[in-house]
Amino acid sequence: MKKRYIYLCYIALTTACQPSADDHKENNAAQQAQSFIDNYTKQFVPLYTASSAAEWEANTHIVEGDTTNAYNVQQANEALASFTGSEAHISQARELLQQDGLDTIRIKQLETILYAAANNPATVSDVVKERIRAEAAQTELLFGYDFNINGQSVSVNDIDDILKGTNDLDTRLNAWESSKEVGKTLRKGLLDLRRLRNQTVQALGYDDYFAYQVSDYGMSVEEMMQLNNQLIQDIWPLYRELHTYARYELAKRYGVRQVPDMLPAHWLPNRWGQDWSAMVDVEGLDIDPVLEEKGQEWLIHQAERFYISLGFDSLPGSFWEKSSLYPAPENADYKKNNHASAWHMNLQHDVRCLMSVIPNEEWYETTHHELGHIYYYQSYTNPNVPPLLRGGANRGFHEAIGSMMGLAAMQKPFMAGLGLVDSTAQTDETKSLLKEALNYIVFIPFSAGVMTHFEHDLYADSLSDNQLNQRWWELTAKYQGMVPPSPRGEEYTDAASKTHINNDAAQYYDYAISYALLFQLHNHISEKILHQNPRATNYYGHKEIGDFLKKILTPGATRNWQQLLQETTGEQLSAQGMLTYFEPLTDYLKKVNKGRKYTLPETMDNL
């Protein structure tokens, strides 16, 4: 039958079946593009791998006074930059994109090549080299910094423990101020990086570094700022209730009679006021004692078992051999980056985590989050996704998957199934929801507001060198209703104490977007797959959830992210999922706050 069809096609539809001149031209264009992409990829992957290896060492083994890591990072990153920023690559990719006959996958790869080139254009190679050196030096200063309180060295985990668990305001103030001292040493480097990052991408036509990073979403800066402002506006009524609640409850806790209009930063259980969930303990859901008994290794192995229960594969042996999962030993002669991260070292099967896991609730959630990244890497490392497109549908998708799995792992039915809590224990569901809101809702004004607007002003609006701290605290007051314990002049650079400002710049809106995405995905899973209350789910063992997630994870960056979201959930991006999830909490807080003074505006319509 097949042969007969071909024969009939030949004699009856000769014109249609025979390749035309245009067909030859299109095929030739596709072949040229594929040849260029294949040659580029063959050279790119080893250089990317070498850069990852150097960065890994610089983040996991920091020795004061040893410049070996900085040198190796500089050499590896300069080699990668020289390749990706090659004028020949830029001109050839541009020329190929002008031709007809290219399919979506080839077009996306060519666009990816140009996007990478914009961060390292050979036309300004001296600037690129200077930027690479500056970034390596900034990383050394940031993660090699010796935090201390009253002359005693402390870790960031120690500082976090104080801010989460101590009611003595003097102790809290000392810990908070210690956490900000690092900003002093980072100010000059941040200003240098602002100049160098802008100059680098401007060489390929971007207005500034912020615009460059935003373009990865296929959006303009104006569209991105509007999206973030809309997220804040959507959740603002609930945030206003949480802010009022926190002011009064913390004043009572610390024995302060006069409730402040704005939250003093050192009152909050997080160095940047981005997560207040430690304010609330939910009886029956305190898992720290159980986790301490199980030990730190159990946390990461249990997170793996969760993903396996959904139908994902076991982690490769190399993950366990090469990852840096636990704090550096107390007597170690080196430091490490304590900020959790996941690494796709070679765009193939070498996947790793950098963490400092200790057996507590925060790291229990974090292990599930970070493995979300790892399983995303593994899912799109497949023959249908070329190495150049092995990334998330957008950067926010990567964070959304990890955060959603962290949320799922913290819900009572899930934890009861693991024996972390007693399934028959009476728990206050409203208080549990409040604890979650103090994490997820509170985060939006910080991420979509403070961080996004500060970095926009820094890169796009040429924020004055002598107004960095002033602008930071203007934004925290506006979006978070938070103020420093005492005036903080320009001798400080408190924004720079946030890791991402230094080494993951102009991308923090990724996290705000990810939170909106995670609740859309979680609500879909709860309602359409599990048919469970979204506030009390148990994902464990449901392979149909794994099947749903694989539809999102497996294509990597080969699909348009908006279309992918619409196809999998039937919705476009919005904060509606967050509003739906936390709806029962609003009435409760209004009753609690009755008679209290509100100090934030009712709406944020004029952002």
Tell whether 39 and 80 lie within a shared domain.
yes
Tell whether 429 and 464 lie within a shared domain.
yes
Domain boundary (181, 200, 218) is at 218
CA 591 to chain centre: 35
CA 146 to chain centre: 25
Distance in angstroms (rounded) separating the CA atoms of residues 544 and 535: 19
What's the pLDDT score for residue 6?
A: 32
Tell whether 190 and 233 lie within a shared domain.
no
Distance in angstroms (rounded) separating the CA atoms of residues 231 and 236: 8
The structure tokens 């476009």 sit at 572
Angle between helices 68-84 and 125-143 (to 10 degrees): 150
Tell whether 52 and 82 lie within a shared domain.
yes
Task: Tell the burial category of 19 from Cβ atoms under 10 Å away from its Cβ (0-12, 13-18, 19+).
Answer: exposed
Tell whether 414 and 520 lie within a shared domain.
yes
- Using an 8 Å Cβ cutoff, are 280 and 519 in contact? no
Tell whether 273 and 168 lie within a shared domain.
no
Distance in angstroms (rounded) separating the CA atoms of residues 282 and 327: 28
β-pairing, 148-149 vs 152-153, is antiparallel
Task: Tell the burial category of 595 from Cβ atoms under 10 Å away from its Cβ (0-12, 13-18, 19+).
Answer: exposed
Identify the bridge partners of residue 62 per DSSP, sorted by sequence position: 335
SS3 176: helix
- Using an 8 Å Cβ cutoff, are 525 and 537 in contact? yes
What's the pLDDT score for residue 46?
A: 98
Domain boundary (152, 186, 218) is at 218
Q: Cβ neighbours of residue 58 under 8 Å, at least 6 residues apart?
A: 69, 70, 72, 73, 136, 139, 140
SS3 303: helix
Strands (E), 285-429: 341-344, 351-354
What's the pLDDT score for residue 157?
A: 86
Tell whether 206 and 260 lie within a shared domain.
no
Q: Is residue 601 part of a domain?
A: no
Tell whether 147 and 265 lie within a shared domain.
no
- Using an 8 Å Cβ cutoff, are 273 and 180 in contact? no
Tell whether 183 and 312 lie within a shared domain.
no
Provide Rg for the chain, Cα atoms.
25
- Smallest Cα–Cα separation from 587: which of 441, 412, 411, 433? 433
What's the pLDDT score for residue 70?
A: 87
Distance in angstroms (rounded) separating the CA atoms of residues 87 and 118: 11
Task: Give me the domain span that covers residue 69.
Answer: 26-218
For 248-259, b/e burial (b = at least 16 CB within 10 A) is eebbeeeeeeee
Q: Is residue 5 part of a domain?
A: no
Sequence letter at residue 195: R
What's the pLDDT score for residue 15?
A: 33
SS3 352: strand
- What CATH number did the domain enclosing 360 receive? 1.10.1370.30
Distance in angstroms (rounded) separating the CA atoms of residues 367 and 468: 34
What's the pLDDT score for residue 338?
A: 82
Q: Is residue 569 part of a domain?
A: yes
Half-sphere exposure (Cβ direction) of 155: Cα atoms closer than 13 Å? 15
Q: What are phi and psi of 572, to 5 degrees?
A: -100, 165
Task: Tell the burial category of 432 from Cβ atoms under 10 Å away from its Cβ (0-12, 13-18, 19+).
Answer: buried
- Using an 8 Å Cβ cutoff, are 336 and 354 in contact? yes
What's the pLDDT score for residue 246?
A: 98
Tokens for 54, please give them. 């150097």
List average pLDDT for each run of 10 residues in the chain, which is 607 residues long. Answer: 33 38 68 97 98 95 89 93 96 95 96 96 94 91 92 93 96 98 97 98 96 96 97 96 98 98 98 96 90 97 98 98 95 89 97 96 95 98 98 96 95 95 90 94 98 98 96 98 97 97 96 96 97 97 98 97 95 91 94 97 83
DSSP-assigned letters across all residues of 231-291: HHHHHHHHHHHHHHHHHHHHHHHTT-SS--SSEEGGGSSSTTSS--GGG---TT---HHHH
- Using an 8 Å Cβ cutoff, are 335 and 324 in contact? no
Tell whether 462 and 568 lie within a shared domain.
yes
pTM of the shown model: 0.87
Domain boundary (218, 246, 269) is at 218
Tell whether 421 and 557 lie within a shared domain.
yes
Domain count, the chain: 2
What's the pLDDT score for residue 18?
A: 47
Angle between helices 221-253 and 452-459 (to 10 degrees): 130
Tell whether 158 and 274 lie within a shared domain.
no
